[in-house]
Amino acid sequence: MNKPVLRMFSIKEYRSIDRRHLYSDLCRLMVLVFTFTHVDTKRRHRCGRNEIWVECKGCELKCGQSEFTPCVLICNPAGCYCPAYDGFRRDIAGKCVAVSECPKISAEKHKIFLNITS
């Protein structure tokens, strides 16, 4: 049984081999390297309680914001993320807490009065 071997080719040898096999081997090698890099990256990062590591951070919600808060679809730098879709929000101290742990906001405090004159 032949085992695949990774070796360097001289230019003369490279021109004489079937490139389909070479490209196939290179693709497999690239996938293998990417997979190990991706797994290693996830292992190195430690996030706080309720947080998850993501390569492309989206918008995070803060306590008091609903899940319907508008968010621009951009890819922020990788980091620890407080997943709003799992019912978590960032509190004032920056911790990722369950919505039920968010401080209650008084409705009276946030009323807006409009003085409309005709």
In tens, the pLDDT along 14-47 reads 566 555 555 666 556 555 444 444 444 455 689 9
Residues 64 and 113 reside in one and the same domain: yes
Q: Which residues pair with 80 in a beta bridge?
A: 53
Residues 107 and 86 reside in one and the same domain: yes
The reply to whether 3 falls in a domain is: no
Q: What is the pLDDT of residues 90-102, one digit of tens each?
A: 999 999 999 999 9
**Residue with tokens 């920056």, as numbered in its chain:** 94
More confident residue, 103 or 44: 103
Residues 54 and 91 reside in one and the same domain: yes
Q: Which residues pair with 97 in a beta bridge?
A: 89
Residues 116 and 66 reside in one and the same domain: yes
* pLDDT for position 102: 94
Residues 53 and 101 reside in one and the same domain: yes
Helix (H), strand (E), coil (C) string for 82-113: CCHHHCEEECCCCCEEEHHHCCCCCCHHHCCC
Residues 63 and 36 reside in one and the same domain: no
Residues 34 and 53 reside in one and the same domain: no
Number of domains, the chain = 2
pLDDT, mean over the chain: 75
**Which alpha helices (H) appear in the chain, and where do they start and end?**
11-16, 19-44
The reply to whether 72 falls in a domain is: yes
The reply to whether 1 falls in a domain is: no
Q: Please give the residue range of the domain that contains residue 56.
A: 49-118
Check if the beta carbon of residue 80 is closer than 8 Å to that of residue 52: yes
3-state secondary structure at position 39 = helix
**Residue with tokens 């914001």, as numbered in its chain:** 65
Residues 111 and 98 reside in one and the same domain: yes
* pLDDT for position 51: 96
* pLDDT for position 48: 94
Which class for 18: exposed (0-12), middle (13-18), buried (19 or more C-beta within 10 A)?
Answer: exposed
